[in-house]
Structure 1
């Protein structure tokens, strides 16, 4: 249990760091953090005294991380000269050359989760990327927001008929392209 809690805590901590560098406006980040704080408070109230000591400690630590990020945002609002060098804008990206995801978020999550499980995406030091950091990277790359990525990932495991929908389509498209290029299978 502690390993699961520690891993989730580390991923959440990385998610908060990624959020700080996401380019979202201060107000958008503050809104997002306040929503997270509200949800976490609700979970803590529901669990109350029923939670075990380890869970309670990690929930309190997570709450502290969120509160710290909120305080840093307020500090930046009060003293803008200390604002990060990361551009902060609410302007919508209008460049049509930006890639967009046209399929379902569950299928995108299938791709992200598969890359995460495979462990082929690393940081500059060769360390495996966390699930949260991959989600943030895809959000930036595709200019979308993926709400509740852990829930979406869990939905993949609940599929009844086919555990994988997108991956067979990707394989089929790749193999069709090979055949169309005249490389074909022998």
Structure 2
């Protein structure tokens, strides 16, 4: 077992489920692991309730962000294709700067929701690892219950139920912007 120095700060944010280390040499009471799984189950239920509230409360705001990013990207792309930019100062004064700002907002929105979804998926993987460590029947039942809860109540951010906001939305948005730009450039007067 590792011995910490008395003046070392305790690592309160780290649990056995957070690492890929082998804890076979550590003594972990089954009660503490059971308590941890029960707390994770309650925390996940609360998180899902809050995500539901956030989806309904911020759905119109996320929709306006995505639509604004789409329109700004199409407009600035069209402007770049149709004009001869001479200096960087002229680039800043054009609608391109609005397109870059919209793109940054859009990427931040997708990145934050994508990272929350990714973190929720790692919890299930770490719990499955715990099943292979020879836990008792009560613990197995609690872990299976929590894994089922994770698989049936997935962390998803949606825009008014129309589409999900995640990292895949970046690819979808770039495909749609490219399609609209091709159409606009084909039919220009």
Assess same fold via TM > 0.5: no
User: Which of the pair is proportionally richer in helix?
Assistant: 2
- TM-score (normalised: structure 2): 0.30
Q: Of the two structures, which has the highest relative contact order with CA contacts closer than 8 Å and spacing of 6 or more?
A: 2
Q: Which has the larger radius of gyration?
A: 2
